Structure 1
Amino acid sequence: MLSMLEYIKTILQKVSFDRSLFEKELAKAIKMLIPKELKQLKRWCYAQFGKVYRVVLNHCFSRVPFARARFT
């Protein structure tokens, strides 16, 4: 059985062909995960999609109130 984090990673990979879908799914994912999982997701997203979607990632993760303090 997949964890929620692994499921979200799978979804993001599948929608990564479309910026709008990717951003929508990432925003949903951020709302569902606990802080520890968010930290892992952020690292993974920047490693996987940082070259293509850096602006989207910066935008989505900057909306998380504790993101700047805890994840940098």
Structure 2
Amino acid sequence: MLEYAKVILPKVSFSKELFSKELAKCINWVEPVQVQELYTWCYKNFNHMYPDVLADAFSNIAA
């Protein structure tokens, strides 16, 4: 599912609301061991656009 996230998130990045919804789905779908990789990839690719969305989405992840 991580590869799916890497395909879908860039496609919906034009809309903050849609990006936020899809990111939440992706976080729930990826294997727990892949959440850190998703986190790193998202911050590398989208932190300049949606730092608040990323911070909110990943703050709900148990560390």
Q: Percent identity?
A: 48
User: Which of 20, 28, 36 is residue 39 of structure 1 equivalent to?
Assistant: 36
Quote the residue 1:70 is aligned against.
Answer: none
Structure number with the higher helix fraction is 1
- SS of the aligned residue for 1:58 comes to helix
Q: In structure 2, list runs of 5 or more residues that go unmatched.
A: none
| Regions of 4+ moved over 6 Å | none
- Counting matched residue pairs gives 63
**In terms of Rg, which structure is larger?**
1
User: Which of 18, 23, 26 is residue 23 of structure 2 equivalent to?
Assistant: 26
The TM-score, its normalising length taken from structure 1, stands at: 0.82
- Displacement of 1:35 in angstroms is 2.2
